[in-house]
């Protein structure tokens, strides 16, 4: 990266006030250093950030700071005195952004390989102003994208710039369906052959999660191994929400095929189809099939489960309230438990204490306790985030849109958490996942006698 790429060019409308952003062009998970110089000591300086995101919708945030004795505002050092966020946060002007249309939720570029451009304007009390722009990317230079329609699979493969071989990760979405390309692109940017596999609500796929065969995902792992021939035969699974439930279930069902499991806001239990169900089957119908037969789930023959805490009352609803009623039937819980002790590899869990969709903190503790009870011989890590909600992704993206219509059922819900805690969870979870994967790959290589 050249010096012109690592430090932005500030454009100033005055002779003194300057705003810089460093680096000017980098991956989305790299924090930017925003600094204002040349303000009058003690002056109020307002920074306004604007980013055009999916669909061309502009997201914006604003914060006002007080310049120090040298006329400097350093966003990584200084807390704003007013504005869209509180406290010191280098990327507060990004994660606190809200959409100008008041309703958009998609924060990633379309297409995924496109850059996100944020423009920040600094306005000083005396009318002086300066602006700067920086670029966030999901895909590093040289990362390649390939649509996959082989062997009945529907997904997208992202590969790192060099020839490899690379360890591999298969990425699975939750009850919203579709293909999680943003996460795959970022995994590839960090050296992994990343396969985002869709299983419903994608081209040629079912519209609903109901009656999804687990063999489809085994086919996906087999295809990934044949296609990229991963380093050390390492294939990890990364899943979000229902995908977090799914990756634990796949690790337990096909242990010989799964090298490591990363469960974002996962479940310890097999659930019914819930909000992503085929209406003809219903939300208490099965989600997962194995050998053509439905797997027992927590709502099946449950004596205490009730949808009322979710269905009744004014929106936004909290799905977690209904999930907790199902846990009061211990026999149903045992029937629906995922046998995570069968997983033959390290496990990482990322959960949120204020999860509005289901009790991911409790579920994750259930997983770690079961693994400990069975003396799981591999690493187990659990990062649990106070005040955070269900939508843990990666840095640095807006975290403000907590209320949404479920993409399948249309039910108005809240994912929970608050924007600041969600932003912290995004940042720390991604750092934790990168460290976890690096260690898992190293241990896999060592076990195979490779350096």
CA distances from 335 to 142, 267, 295, 301 (A): 47, 14, 10, 10
Residues 107, 147: Cα–Cα separation, whole Å:
22
CB atoms within 10 A of CB 24: 19
Count CB-CB contacts under 10 A for residue 328: 13
> What is the reported pLDDT for 450?
54
Q: Are 372 and 366 in contact (CB under 8 A)?
A: no
pLDDT for the residue numbered 10: 42
Domains of the chain: 3-137 (2.60.40.2240), 144-447 (3.40.50.1820)
Q: Which residues contact 14 (CB under 8 A, 6 or more apart)?
A: 38, 128, 129, 130
Tokens matching residue 155:
């997904």
Burial class (CB in 10 A: 0-12, 13-18, 19+), 444: buried
In DSSP terms, which residues pair with 404 in a beta bridge? 413
Pairing of strands 193-198, 154-159: antiparallel
Phi first, then psi: give them for residue 87, nearest 5 degrees: 80, 175
Return d(Cα 194, Cα 156) in angstroms, integer: 8
CA distance 139 to 136: 9
Tokens of 166: 């690379």
DSSP state of 341: G
Q: Is 152 left (phi over 0), alpha (psi -120 to 50) or beta?
A: left
With cut-offs at 50, 70 and 90, classify the pLDDT of residue 400: very high
pTM across the whole model: 0.94
d(CA 173, CA 82): 37
Residue 211 tokens read as 């009656």
pLDDT in tens, 103-151: 898 999 989 999 999 999 999 987 899 999 999 999 999 999 999 999 9
Q: Is the peptide bond before 316 cis (omega within 30 degrees of 0)?
A: yes
Coil/strand/helix, residue 149:
coil
Q: Measure the CA–CA gap between 257 and 275, rounded to whole angstroms.
A: 30
Q: Say if CB 94 and CB 39 are below 8 A apart.
A: no
Contacts for 397 with CB less than 8 Å, ≥ 6 apart? 28, 94, 95, 107, 108, 426
pLDDT exceeds cutoff 70 at 167:
yes
DSSP per-residue string spanning 230-252: -GGG-EEEEEETHHHHHHHHHHH
pLDDT in tens, 246-286: 999 999 999 999 999 999 999 999 999 999 999 999 999 99
Instruction: Decide the pairing of beta strands 82-83 and 58-66.
Output: antiparallel
Q: Which helix (H) or strand (E) holds 97?
A: none
Q: Which of 267, 248, 268, 271 is nearest to 258 (CA)?
A: 248
The per-residue pLDDT of the chain, averaged, comes to 94
pLDDT digits (tens, 9 = 90+) for 353-396: 999 999 999 999 999 999 999 999 999 999 999 999 999 999 99
């Amino acid at each position: 990266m050249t010096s012109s790429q690592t430090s932005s060019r500030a454009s100033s409308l005055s002779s003194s006030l300057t705003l810089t952003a460093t680096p000017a062009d980098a991956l989305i998970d790299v924090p930017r250093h925003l600094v204002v110089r040349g303000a009058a000591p003690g002056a109020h300086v307002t920074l306004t950030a604007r980013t055009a995101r999916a669909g061309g919708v502009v997201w914006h945030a604003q914060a006002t700071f007080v310049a120090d004795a040298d006329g400097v505002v350093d966003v990584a050092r200084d807390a704003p005195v007013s504005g869209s966020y509180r406290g010191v946060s280098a990327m507060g002007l990004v994660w606190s952004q809200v959409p100008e249309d008041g309703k958009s939720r998609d924060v990633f570029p379309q297409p995924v390989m496109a850059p996100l451009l944020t423009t920040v304007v600094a306005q000083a009390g005396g009318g002086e102003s300066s602006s700067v722009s920086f670029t966030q990317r999901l895909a590093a230079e040289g990362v390649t994208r390939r649509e996959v329609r082989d062997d009945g699979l529907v997904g997208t493969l992202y590969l790192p710039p060099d020839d490899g071989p690379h360890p591999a990760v298969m990425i699975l979405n939750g009850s919203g369906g579709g293909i999680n390309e943003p996460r795959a692109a970022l995994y590839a940017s960090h050296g992994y052959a990343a396969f985002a596999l869709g299983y419903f609500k994608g081209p040629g796929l079912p519209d609903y999660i109901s009656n999804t065969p687990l063999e489809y995902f085994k086919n996906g792992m087999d295809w990934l191994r044949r296609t990229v021939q991963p380093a050390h035969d390492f294939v990890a699974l990364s899943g979000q929400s229902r995908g977090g439930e799914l990756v634990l279930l796949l690790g337990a069902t096909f242990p010989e095929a799964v090298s490591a499991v990363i469960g974002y806001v996962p479940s310890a239990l097999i659930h019914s189809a819930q909000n992503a169900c085929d209406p003809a089957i219903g939300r208490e119908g099965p989600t997962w099939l194995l050998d053509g037969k439905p797997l027992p789930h927590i709502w099946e023959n449950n004596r205490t489960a009730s949808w009322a805490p979710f269905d009744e009352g004014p929106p936004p609803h909290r799905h977690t309230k209904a999930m907790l009623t199902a846990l009061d039937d211990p026999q149903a819980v045992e029937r629906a438990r995922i046998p995570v002790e069968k997983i033959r590899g390290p496990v990482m869990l990322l959960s949120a204490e204020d999860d509005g969709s289901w009790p991911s903190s409790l579920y994750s503790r259930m997983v770690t306790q079961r693994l400990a009870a069975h003396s799981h011989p591999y690493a187990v890590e659990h990062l649990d985030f106070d005040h955070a909600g269900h939508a843990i992704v990666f840095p640095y993206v807006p975290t403000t849109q907590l209320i949404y219509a479920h993409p399948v059922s249309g039910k108005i819900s809240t994912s929970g958490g608050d924007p600041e805690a969600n932003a912290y969870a995004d940042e720390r979870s991604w750092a934790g996942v990168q460290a976890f994967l690096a260690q898992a790959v190293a241990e896999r290589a060592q076990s195979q006698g490779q350096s």
